[in-house]
Each structure stands twice: as structure tokens, then as C-alpha cells.
Amino acid sequence: MLDGDPRLSPCGRRGVKNRLRVLRAERGWSQQDLAERLEVSRQSVNAIETGRYDPSLPLAFRIADLFELTIEQIFENPSVAG
């Protein structure tokens, strides 16, 4: 049963949980602001935040570099998630 699985995104897809929205909000950035900093579309940022899309490793590194954090501090490792 997938219902109640904490790793499910709002749309029901099993995506990697992340803190992107929280980190973005802490800096007062809109999705568009973050998209411009990452040089991707706003749709990409929205899809990553809502768990509909898991970024590639290069994009995950760009995100981590932007927030000056490690990838693990932004994205939850699905193999160790509760």
C-alpha cells in the first residue's frame, strides 16, 4: 500500500524528499528567483520541490553549492529514510 508512505509526494509519486522549499523560503526567494539562480525553468523547481522530479546529480550539486550545504542536507537519502 502506498497510502501513508512518508516518501510520497503530494501527487502520489515516490520522489526523494527534500528541503528545497524551506531553504528557499528562508532566503525569501520565489521559485522564479531560485530557477534563475540554478539556470533552470520555474517548472523544474516546482517539480523538484513537490517531489514530482528527482534532479540529476549535476543539478543536485548545483543546488547544494547554491545553498552552501551538502546534498544530504537538502535531499533525504531514500535508503535510510524512515
Partner 1 sequence: MEVSPASVRFLWRFIGATIVYGLLITCASWMAKSLDPSPIGLIALSILPAIGIAASLIVVGLYLIEETDEYVRKRQAVAMLVSIGILLTLSTGLGFLQQRNVIGVVDLLWAFPAWCVVWSVTQCSMAIRDYRRADGAA
Q: Which residues bind partner 1 (CB under 8 A)?
A: 10-11, 21, 30-32, 39-44, 46-50, 52-53, 55-56, 59
Q: Which burial class, exposed, middle or buried, applies to 82 when counting CB atoms under 10 A from its CB (0-12, 13-18, 19+)?
A: exposed
- C-beta closer to partner 1: residue 40 or 71: 40
Helix (H, G, I), strand (E, B) or coil at 8: strand
Q: How far is the CB of 80 from partner 1 (least distance, A)?
A: 25
Q: How far is the CB of 60 from partner 1 (least distance, A)?
A: 11
How many CB atoms neighbour CB 10 within 10 A?
10
